[in-house]
Amino acid sequence: MSNTVVALLFGGKSSEHEISIISAKAIAAHIDKKNYTPYPLYISRDGKWFMGRTAQAVLDLDMAGLLKKQSLDEIGAELLSLTRNCDEDLFSFNFRKEGIDVAFPVLHGTYGEDGKVQGLLEVFGIPYTGCSVQASAITIDKDVAKICAMRAGIAVAEYMSILSADYLKRPSLVIDMARQRFTPPFFVKPANLGSSVGISKIHAFNELPGALDEACKLDIKVLVEKAVSGREVEVAVLGNEDPIASAPGEIEPGNDFYDYTDKYISNTAKLHIPARIDIEVQKALQHEAIRAYRALGCSGMSRVDFFVENKSNRIILNEINTIPGFTGTSMYPLLMKNTGIGFKELIDTLLQLALEKSSV
């Protein structure tokens, strides 16, 4: 019996391009080669698709090491050198002709976690891991996801949503609205990005214009959000109609907050699995994670992020990530491991869930 051929989609057009490569490398290293044959498909920053030796060369890069030693521009030049003389793109690629049975998108952020590639795979009739087109599109937009969560009775932090075009037209008006509504500290964040890209913590109002300028360059919509005084915890959810939730893990930031550098470069954050909270609060978090997962129509997998307020232990939804990180230090696989599902078994389960969903 031939192995199941798994298209491993990585790279992509988002600002999380390098993290996607690291996640895909970890999946390729842990996938059960007895049952699955990985087929790497690398998507460059400008949207070109590469397969074969070119995709494998990118996958073989020590991206985690490069991020510590080189600038993003230098890494970009190295990636460009690997793809410059190749002519392998989607227009000459046929999933079925290549014998691909199922896809594993490892595309964090926009053009991967937002439903676009999921829609493409559905057009080609290829089963894929993770959430549907609709759930992916809802959860990538932090504003829309919060609206859906609130309708389901799930608590979220106070926030306001700003269209970047409106800010660029009348920045003083938006800044005045934010000053009236929020007291430092609070956050400015792009609505559709992950890995803490473009997020700023505002300690004084004079930091607000620069933070809004930066966030509005990265996204068409930006959130200004109240800072919650409490613990940052995450729950891994796995499954389709009958999902399971891991015990929550707690992040103790090494910086002022859990930012991009803290996650992927300095490694100064501490992860506590399970979280340092009462067992009853842990159970409540698991319950809320599954509630949010179902309310937003998730399937396959998601990492559901919360805050637990100090003193009150009130649970507040932060966001849902439908393609969470799969690096060696990523919370989702670590939480699943704590639940008794190792990396290899996790990959197998996700692929089986994808095939199960496509047969319904």
Express each pLDDT in 112-148 by its tens digit.
899 999 999 999 899 999 999 999 999 999 999 999 9
Residue 133 is assigned to a structural domain of this protein: no
Same domain (yes/no): 177, 246: no
Which CATH number fits the domain that encloses residue 315?
A: 3.30.470.20
Q: What is the pLDDT of residues 298-330, one digit of tens each?
A: 999 999 999 999 989 999 999 999 999 998 889
Last residue of a domain, one of 128, 147, 170: 128
In a domain, 284, yes or no: yes
pLDDT for 43: 93
Instruction: Check: pTM over 0.85? Answer yes or no.
Output: yes
Q: Are residues 198 and 61 in the same domain?
A: no
Confidence label for 278 from pLDDT (cuts 50, 70 and 90) = very high
Tell me: do 305 and 351 sit in the same domain: yes
pLDDT higher for 210 or 86?
210
pLDDT tens digits for range 28-63:
999 999 999 999 999 999 888 888 888 899 999 999
Q: Convert the pLDDT of each residue in 223-238 to its tens digit.
A: 999 999 999 999 999 9
Contact 289, 315 (CB under 8 A): no
- Residue 268 and residue 149 in one domain: yes
Looking at residue 82, the DSSP 8-state letter turns out to be H
pLDDT for res 109: 84
Categorize the per-residue pLDDT at 1 as very low, low, confident or very high, splitting at 50, 70 and 90.
Answer: very low
Q: Which amino acid belongs to residue 173?
A: L
Residue 321 structure tokens: 């990530």
Residue 95 binned pLDDT confidence (cut-offs 50, 70, 90): confident
259 and 321 fall within a common domain: yes
pLDDT band for position 280 (cuts 50, 70, 90): very high
- 344: alpha, beta or left? (left if phi > 0; alpha if psi -120 to 50): alpha
Residue 339 CB neighbour total at 10 angstroms? 16
Contact 96, 67 (CB under 8 A): no
User: Looking at residue 84, what is its pLDDT?
Assistant: 79
Task: Work out how many domains the chain is built from and give that number.
Answer: 3
Domain match, 203 and 294 both = no
Kindly state whether residue 32 falls inside one of the protein's structural domains: yes
> Same domain, yes or no, for 85 and 121?
yes
Predicted confidence (pLDDT) at residue 92 exceeds the cutoff of 80: no
Rounded to whole angstroms, how far apart are CA atoms 146 and 161?
Answer: 11
Instruction: Give the mean model confidence (pLDDT) for residues 263-284.
Output: 83
Q: Are residues 198 and 344 in the same domain?
A: no
Are both 109 and 27 inside the same structural domain? yes
- Give the pLDDT of residue 311: 86
Same domain, yes or no, for 330 and 233? yes
In this structure, what token pair is assigned to residue 327?
Answer: 């690096």
**Residue 131 or 14, more confident:** 131
Do the Cβ atoms of 228 and 157 come closer than 8 Å?
yes
Q: Which of 175, 202, 226 is the last residue before a domain boundary?
A: 226
Residue-wise burial string across 209-232, b where 16 or more C-beta atoms lie within 10 A, e elsewhere: eebbeebbebbebbbbbbbbebbb
Last-in-domain residue among 226, 247, 264: 226
Task: State the distance between the two ends of the chain, measured CA to CA, in whole angstroms.
Answer: 24
pLDDT tens-place string over residues 186-205? 999 999 876 567 889 999 99
The confidence score (pLDDT) of residue 314 equals 96
Q: Is residue 77 part of a domain?
A: yes
- Is the model's pLDDT at 257 over the cut of 60? no
Question: For residue 26, what pLDDT band results from cuts at 50, 70 and 90?
Answer: very high
pLDDT of residue 264: 52
What pLDDT shows up at residue 336? Answer: 97
State the chain's mean pLDDT as an integer.
Answer: 90
102-105 and 4-11 as β-strands: parallel, antiparallel, unpaired?
A: parallel
CA 139 from chain center: how many Å?
10
Of residues 258 and 216, more confidence is placed in 216
Average pLDDT score over residue span 195-216: 89
SS3 string, 224-257, reads EEECCCEEEEEEEEEECCCCEECCCEEEECCCCC
253 has a pLDDT exceeding 80: no
For residue 111, CA distances in Å to 63, 133, 323 come to 20, 12, 12
Domain that holds residue 35: 4-128
Residues 116, 200, single domain; the answer is no
Residue 134 falls inside a structural domain? no
Residues 252 and 332 in one domain: yes
